[in-house]
């Protein structure tokens, strides 16, 4: 199985570069699935149904999110009816929507996508480790699902790394999101799980993690909270990781970073 997971889409720059390249990448890389984290897609804050539909039309199979999932209030109304749009699994049980979904390719192979949120330096939530552990007691890698992707949306690198080792051998890919900076530690762990601490942001890198740098600098340099944060609107970079897995075991056999367009160094698997 071959799939692409792309990091936090920020604003119009991120949407444009993602929607342009995803149809091309599906063909070029012979992808079975494309998954994106898009919790910042609506002008930097949340996601709307219209934007989600644009991603699906471009070839996205599943959308993960994080702490900004409820920033657009309309999401609350439609997320329960849309299994392709996830909120973190360890949100309260009464929260609308689900924290995981299963998608199937033309060959009948199933990919389970799981979305969890970290606890360190973030909102108080249920234990993400226990939440995933409980879920994977039912869904077994290489048995009733051929691959498992876990998006851990977290602030602390240590928590992301710990999740990778915790799920080594039980997930095909554990990938971090939220910090918007691509990391160079993509690897396959000892027991066959592909891992990266942060897949990076899909958006304009001539910015402060996707936001207009001048507005952010005012806050840091002058301690003035004046103008509302706005996404940067320059040329966007599509950031993600490509993973190939063994259908029989669900273990990863290849992981490579992807960066297209914008100002970062370019790399295509």
Active site residues: 68
Q: Which element (helix H / strand E) includes 50?
A: helix 49-58
What whole-number distance in Å separates Cα of residue 52 and Cα of residue 38? 8
Q: Residue 267 pairs with which residues in a beta bridge?
A: 259
What whole-number distance in Å separates Cα of residue 247 and Cα of residue 245? 6
Q: Residue 168 pairs with which residues in a beta bridge?
A: 171
Using DSSP bridges, classify how beta strands 62-64 and 33-37 pair: parallel, antiparallel or unpaired: parallel
What whole-number distance in Å separates Cα of residue 220 and Cα of residue 142? 48
- The residues, ordered by sequence, that sit 6+ positions from 219 with a Cβ below 8 Å of its Cβ are 225
Size of the chain, expressed as the number of residues it contains: 269
């Amino acid at each position: 199985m071959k799939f692409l997971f792309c990091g936090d889409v920020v604003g119009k720059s991120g949407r444009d570069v993602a929607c342009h390249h995803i149809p091309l990448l599906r063909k070029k890389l012979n992808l079975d699935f494309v998954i994106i984290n898009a919790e910042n897609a609506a002008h930097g804050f949340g996601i709307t149904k219209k934007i989600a539909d644009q991603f699906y039309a471009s070839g996205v199979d599943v959308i993960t999110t994080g702490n900004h999932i409820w920033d657009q209030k309309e999401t609350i109304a439609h997320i329960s009816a849309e299994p392709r749009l996830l909120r973190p699994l360890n949100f309260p049980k009464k929260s609308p929507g689900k924290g995981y979904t299963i998608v199937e390719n033309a060959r009948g192979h199933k990919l389970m996508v799981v979305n969890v949120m970290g606890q360190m330096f973030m909102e108080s939530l249920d234990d993400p480790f226990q939440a995933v552990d409980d879920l994977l007691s039912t869904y077994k890698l290489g048995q009733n699902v051929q691959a498992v992707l876990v998006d851990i949306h977290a602030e602390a690198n240590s928590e992301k790394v710990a999740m990778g080792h915790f799920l080594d051998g039980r997930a095909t890919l554990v990938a971090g999101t939220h910090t918007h900076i691509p990391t160079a530690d993509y690897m396959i762990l000892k027991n066959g799980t592909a891992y990266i601490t942060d897949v990076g942001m899909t958006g304009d890198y001539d910015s402060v993690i996707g936001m207009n740098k001048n507005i952010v600098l005012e806050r840091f340099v002058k301690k003035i909270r004046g103008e509302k944060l706005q996404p940067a609107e320059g040329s966007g970079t599509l950031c993600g990781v490509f993973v190939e897995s063994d259908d029989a075991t669900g273990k990863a056999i290849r992981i490579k970073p992807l960066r297209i367009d914008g100002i970062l160094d370019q790399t295509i698997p």
